[in-house]
Chains A and B, each alone.
Chain A
């Protein structure tokens, strides 16, 4: 999984609760991303961060929040405002401008289920 870890692997949430998904990378990558994957569908971008202390909304940011206080960490909080949070969440990172690749490397994912 290329030096990117996500925890927990499985997460169960009761309705009305906020939960935080962890993403850590030791690749010294500047940019980090959160995606949501629903069964049989492609990846949809939730939030991304190109540099520490800065982040931008993706295509489906409503009901989610992030922080980027450290280069290696990009936690995602799924708030109670997210109406359909059950999904597989993937974190990725890349190092822009390294002279050839913009490949994003992914973590192993967290499967969130709302009870």
Chain B
């Protein structure tokens, strides 16, 4: 079936460096993608989203890139800070208001 997955389960970066978290999706009909951040013991927080008619969207310190040719989504975090340490996961919307979630990547920021 259709699925959303992540390439790297754990990413360790030095404080101040840029982070890149990747996500592959398989449903070419998906038209909306979301990145969430989840800290331990808390609910997921919305970070940024992108629609399929765009290939890049920027927020505060975060950028999402969408490559529809290879069905790839990435989240870039600039100047990573200790507070960025969390699990990040992507989600795709391909049928009404239903989201399919990836398994998540744990980002660890070293001081």
Determine whether A7 belongs to the interface, using a CB cutoff of 8 Å to chain B: no
Bound-state CA distance A109–B1 (Å) is 28
Determine whether A21 belongs to the interface, using a CB cutoff of 8 Å to chain B: no
Give the dominant DSSP class at B's interface: strand
Residue of A nearest to B93 (CB): A102
Interface size on A, residues (CB 8 A): 25
Residue of B nearest to A2 (CB): B46
A104 contacts B102, C-beta separation under 8 Å: no
Pick out which of these stretches binds chain A: B13-21, B36-44, B54-62, B65-73: B36-44
Bound-state CA distance A37–B80 (Å) is 26
Interface residue ranges of B92-111 to A (CB < 8 Å): 93, 96-99, 101-104
B46 contacts A105, C-beta separation under 8 Å: yes
Interface size on B, residues (CB 8 A): 21
B32 contacts A102, C-beta separation under 8 Å: yes
Q: Which residues of B contact A16 (CB under 8 A)?
A: none
| A contacts, CB < 8 Å to B | 1-2, 4, 6, 31, 40-43, 45, 48, 50, 90, 94, 96, 101-109, 111
A106 contacts B103, C-beta separation under 8 Å: no
- Partner pick for A41 among B41, B46, B103, CB 8 A cutoff: B103
B101 contacts A106, C-beta separation under 8 Å: no
Interface residue ranges of B1-48 to A (CB < 8 Å): 32, 34, 36, 41-46
